[in-house]
Structure 1
Amino acid sequence: MSTREIDDRAARPGRRTTRRTLAVTATAAVALAGMGGPALAKGPGGESNGNPNTSKKITQAVDVDNVWAHLEEFQRIADDNGGNRAAGTEGYEASAEYVEQVLQEAGYETERHPFSYPRTRTVAESLTVEGESLGVRVMSYSPATPDGGVTGTLAAPAVDPEGCDAAAYGEGADLTGQIAIVSRGSCAFAAKSLVAAAVGAEAVLVYNNVPGMVNGTLGEPDPGYVPAGGMTQADGQAVLARMAEGPVEATVQLETVDEVVSTFNVLAETSQGRDDNVVMLGAHLDGAQEGAGINDNATGSAAILETAVQLATVNKLNNTVRFAWWGGEEDGLQGSDAWVADQSDDELADIATYLNFDMVGSPNYIIGVYDADESTYAAPVEVPDGSIETEDVFTDYFDSIGQPWVDTMFSGRSDYQPFIAAGIPASGLFTGADGTKTEEEVEMFGGTAGITYDPNYHTPADDLSNVNPEALDIMGDAIAHATLSLAQDTSEVNGKRSAGKSGKPHPQGDLPTADEGDEGDEDAA
């Protein structure tokens, strides 16, 4: 998930009252040791369902063991490619080849959608405090430190630890030759960097105000910035304790390089169904540059991959289902943005709704659904019509099986952003990233309060051991249910109905929309 934060107002999921609810083949084959064709859908006794055309059958068919097998392949791919699956790398190419081969074996034709974009790649990020190495994360758009880094005495604001304005450092403060250390809090990281520069600091370090690492962005380039890096809360507090005893010297090195990434998305769709009423699912295939990216986001990629495999065995679908594995999400939603931009208005109008799955196996998980109806969180983006009804597909399912769930902010901070910007309804699932788990959430889902949902988010430790199988199982079933449900009927979302093996429109026509007249057409209901 691309969640480099511009400011410090991080969303935390909270409970709400429940509501009703093309063909381009791979350029090279990937070696899949022991991997045959897609597993047939199985019932609880091991018998083949053959045609998993009900919610019960499709959720049984999308078995967590099969999803886990895909995760093992993504981990193997990362291990074979320098521990990395970032966009533009050999690890990403191999990940895409694996997805393509599984899809082709299941009967799909696959398409690569190419695109390019500029990227700033981290070359060095290190922090040494009195000889001890501490973790630091360079912020996006931070200027680089000079060769060898910046060395100086650490200085904290004398008045307000957040360092949001010059007054926070005290009257006449002069940090020339020093490194500012400030708390995450109520203002943008860019402001902290500009203020640190204004009082003469050589660099600024921002420690978290909750457990976990700060993954920040300065938002855009600015010649007034000083180099800026993020720290964990624990390291920040430990350094402040040392500073209380006397001067503390540190060296920080933050270096990046600019490059152009040429990469691609992978897409496939069912051969059945109404092609002017497409249900679309997406998950980003790339990982962060720091590691293998297994929870973020091999989990979402694996879950929709297995859903595609099993959906291919359903003998009748009313609506086309299109699957997308996005590239460049970690660099700012590059792949999904490029794909949406390349579609015509008519092609976009054919998409009934978009479902996004970014991190669905967090180790200290919540079961989160995007809050399209804003019953818990006000959305900072415009919520397209039909999104609430798409949300209902997930929440009604969870309610029907007695599964607790919470809202997560409908923020547009993942690959659904380009779709909602185009007016396409959307929803999705999320098990949490760098937010902190509450006691109430522990009562609902288990786990540990006071630590982040994924303590290994955007780190080298985001490997196969960083995935909670129970969360993956719950979310995999919900994805399967929602996919099949919408593949058969989107009338609650957009008023369009389909019937018959041909996938042609319903004989009685589509339901009228609000601006077309009556909503309550009893004959069409």
Structure 2
Amino acid sequence: MRRALYSTAAVILTGSLFVAAPADAGNKHQSKAKPIDTSKLTRGVTVNGQLKTLRQLQVIANRNDGNRASGLPGYDASAAYVASQLKKAGYKVKKQTFTFAFSRDLAPAELQQVTPTARDIETAAFDYSGSGDVTGAVTPIKLVIPPTGGPGSTTSGCTPGDFPAPGSAPSVALIQRGACDFGVKAANAQAAGYDAVIIFNEGQEGRQELLTGTLGTPVGIPVVGVSYEDGVALSQQPGATVRVFASTEVDLNRRTTNVIADLPRKTKNQDQVVVVGAHLDSVAEGPGINDNGTGTAAVLEIAKQYTKTRTAKKAQRPVRFAFWGAEEKGLLGAYHYVDSLTDTQRGKIYANLNFDMIGSPNFARFVYDGDGSSDGNAGPAGSAEIEKVFTRYFAKRKLASAPTSFDGRSDYGPFIEAGIPAGGLFSGAEGVKTPAEAKLFGGTAGVAYDVCYHQTCDDITNVSTRAIDQLGDAAAHSVGVLALSKKGLYGDQRRAKVSGKKLAAMKRAGDRSPGHALTR
């Protein structure tokens, strides 16, 4: 999962205690349909099967400088492994190559306050930060402390006019997270003549901790993040000076791949392609076994069992399995895929299912909020029906689930931007589990869902088998429902026929025949 903080919507317990076909329960024809039997597929997708893949990904990381990041050998080895497994399962596999702006830390970033009191401050360099070792005076940039609006309301650094002239001595801009992209803030600071940038978290609930993220494109000066508390402390010391250090590698034309697999067989509804995806890359800081080895392992195991259990032979529409590269650099693999499609090809994508981090040690069962019921941020039409597939599955098993916002943080983002319905699962990243969530899901309140998020310790020991059991089965169920449903998400594959007798009665009553446009 890419470096960007998220807010989880309010937790609710799903109330429906049955499994039904995914169309709206208000459709009288659909409500009579029998539940879709996905049991063979869900039974086939086992914890042991997923762990085999996770162990292999760990071995690959161990042999490749401890990571599987796109643009580095560990990713290439991961892609080769996944491709070989898919070919053995009978898929036609394509490696889709693209170039991207690569960035990684060559040494840990450092931040020290020099005056008036010397101290070390916890920090991390942003992706695409420039290298440098700068000691200079701190200049606060249009800060709002405490923030007076909701998340994303603070405009610090968003316009060139926010930056006073820095003078001839080295200067460090202190900027607050908020309404515009980190890259915009950093670029404005560089254009104004600042030598380094510190961006601190905004301050609202969920925006307090150490800030990490991506600038999107390279900048030529060091850019580091700090927590809200440390940012406030720096802002309240007039005349403070700091040392900012970052050592990074940036390559604007690094190559990487997506791995895309299709079965060489036709289905009844060939123009309704279900794309099931997970990002394959890790960050450069660690092996990425939870982020996103767990999503990769689930999707790969579903693909294997989809053929092994003969589910594919009953499919009503094709399923395409995709493993995205360079997600950690801004969803670049998924964007490349969607952008490479023609309008006709894009129109044939029926739905996107996305699985990113589904094995967090202190996990929750988060479902992407397709209908926007928790925060008003709904996905494209059809996303609500996909959400119901998951919530009904969990409710049938008397397992709580909760909505998480469509905030564009993972690879579904390019699909929903193109108007394609999407959905999926997430077990939590660096956010902290609340007491209400601990009551619903178990685990420990006040602790991150994944304390090893984007770190070296995100290894084979950093996975909950209970999480990958429950969320892996839910993922398999969703693939089965979308593939096998004869009526589809919206119940529109078969239409009820109107008898001649009923049609005559409708006409006698003054009604129009089906499909006749009303004139007034």
Shorter chain as denominator, the TM-score bin is 0.7 to 0.9
Q: How far 1:197 moved relative to its partner?
A: 6.9
Which of 125, 129, 135 lines up with 1:151 in the alignment? 135
Match of residue 400 from structure 1: 396
- Distance across 2 between alignment mates of 1:387 and 1:429: 13
Larger relative CO (CA 8 A, sep 6+): 1 or 2?
Answer: 2
- Distance across 2 between alignment mates of 1:329 and 1:215: 15
The one-letter code matched in structure 2 to 1:326 is W
Q: How far 1:452 moved relative to its partner?
A: 2.8
Contact in 2 for aligned 1:159/1:170 (Cα 8 Å): no
- Distance across 1 between alignment mates of 2:218 and 2:70: 22
Match of residue 225 from structure 2: 230
Contact in 1 for aligned 2:69/2:282 (Cα 8 Å): yes
Mark the CA change 1:65 to 1:234 in structure 2 (over 3 Å): closer, same or farther.
Answer: farther
Match of residue 483 from structure 1: 479
Query: Normalising by the residue count of structure 2, what TM-score does the alignment of the two structures yield?
Result: 0.76
Q: How far 1:285 moved relative to its partner?
A: 0.7
- Distance across 2 between alignment mates of 1:372 and 1:431: 17
Match of residue 263 from structure 2: 270
Mapped pair 1:457 → 2:441: no
Which of 189, 197, 203 lines up with 1:204 in the alignment? 197
Q: How far 1:374 moved relative to its partner?
A: 0.4
1:110-509 alignment, distance < 5 Å = 110-129=93-112, 135-142=122-129, 144-146=130-132, 149-152=133-136, 160-161=144-145, 165=156, 176-177=169-170, 179=172, 184=177, 189=182, 193=186, 202-208=195-201, 209=203, 210=207, 212-218=209-215, 227-232=222-227, 249-272=242-265, 273-274=267-268, 275-315=270-310, 316-318=313-315, 319-379=317-377, 383-489=379-485, 491-495=487-491, 497=493
Q: How far 1:211 moved relative to its partner?
A: 6.0
Contact in 2 for aligned 1:265/1:327 (Cα 8 Å): yes
- 1:111-169 deviation line (CA, Å, top 9, x unaligned): 21222233344444421536976543222454x244xx112466778985579659xx9
1:33-182 alignment, distance < 5 Å = 54-129=37-112, 135-142=122-129, 144-146=130-132, 149-152=133-136, 160-161=144-145, 165=156, 176-177=169-170, 179=172
For residue 283 of structure 1, give the secondary structure of its aligned residue in structure 2: strand
- Distance across 2 between alignment mates of 1:185 and 1:411: 15
Contact in 1 for aligned 2:50/2:298 (Cα 8 Å): yes
Name which of structure 1's ranges 93-102 and 109-118 shifts more when overlaid on structure 2: 109-118
- Distance across 1 between alignment mates of 2:41 and 2:261: 19
- 1:164-183 deviation line (CA, Å, top 9, x unaligned): 659xx999998954545566
For residue 81 of structure 1, give the secondary structure of its aligned residue in structure 2: coil
Contact in 1 for aligned 2:2/2:327 (Cα 8 Å): yes
Instruction: Report the number of matched residues.
Output: 459
Mark the CA change 1:300 to 1:172 in structure 2 (over 3 Å): closer, same or farther.
Answer: closer
Q: How far 1:83 moved relative to its partner?
A: 0.8
For residue 287 of structure 1, give the secondary structure of its aligned residue in structure 2: coil
What is the Cα-based RMSD across aligned positions, in Å?
3.7
For residue 479 of structure 1, give the secondary structure of its aligned residue in structure 2: helix
Q: How far 1:427 moved relative to its partner?
A: 0.6
Q: How far 1:326 moved relative to its partner?
A: 0.9
Contact in 2 for aligned 1:13/1:368 (Cα 8 Å): no
Name which of structure 1's ranges 485-494 and 77-86 shifts more when overlaid on structure 2: 485-494
Instruction: Provide the identity percentage.
Output: 38
Contact in 2 for aligned 1:359/1:430 (Cα 8 Å): yes
- Distance across 1 between alignment mates of 2:451 and 2:382: 34
**Structure 2: which 5+ residue stretches go unaligned?**
20-35, 148-153, 498-512, 516-520
**Structure 1: which 5+ residue stretches go unaligned?**
22-52, 498-505, 510-516, 520-525
The one-letter code matched in structure 2 to 1:277 is Q
Name which of structure 1's ranges 273-282 and 76-85 shifts more when overlaid on structure 2: 273-282
The one-letter code matched in structure 1 to 2:52 is A
- Distance across 2 between alignment mates of 1:92 and 1:202: 34
Contact in 2 for aligned 1:377/1:408 (Cα 8 Å): no
For residue 409 of structure 2, give the secondary structure of its aligned residue in structure 1: coil
Match of residue 502 from structure 1: none
Contact in 2 for aligned 1:294/1:464 (Cα 8 Å): yes
Q: How far 1:317 moved relative to its partner?
A: 2.1
Contact in 1 for aligned 2:136/2:170 (Cα 8 Å): yes
